[in-house]
Amino acid sequence: MFTTPNIGYDAAMASRETKAQPQVGEVWLTRPPYLFLAHILEVDECVEPPVVSYLLHDEDGLVLERVSRATLDRGWWHAFQPMERRYG
């Protein structure tokens, strides 16, 4: 259908297999169909499995919930992706 093989996005879309550890102060995005922001407050890697605490904000910046010690498991990475800041 397309005659030029490299047309489209320069970079790949964010993979659902992201296993990056959230860091304190980072902002993570929920995956579609929702658009919420998770501001990371604490990450505890001394327990198994690791846990994360965060503030969940809606698209207007209002705090919806404070989540304490959510398990960093497959469900976390399925629901959240790191927010990549783009400048330019």
Q: List, for residues 20-46, the tens digit of each pLDDT value.
A: 899 999 999 999 888 999 999 999 999
pTM above threshold 0.85 = no
pLDDT bin (cut points 50, 70, 90) of residue 64 is very high
**Of 18, 14, 62, residue with least CA distance to 37:** 62
Residue 3 or 50, more confident: 50
Per-residue model confidence (pLDDT) at position 84: 84
**Of 31, 27, 23, 57, residue with least CA distance to 39:** 27
Q: From CA 14, how far away is CA 60, in angstroms rounded?
A: 23
Q: Which amino acid would we find at residue 38?
A: A
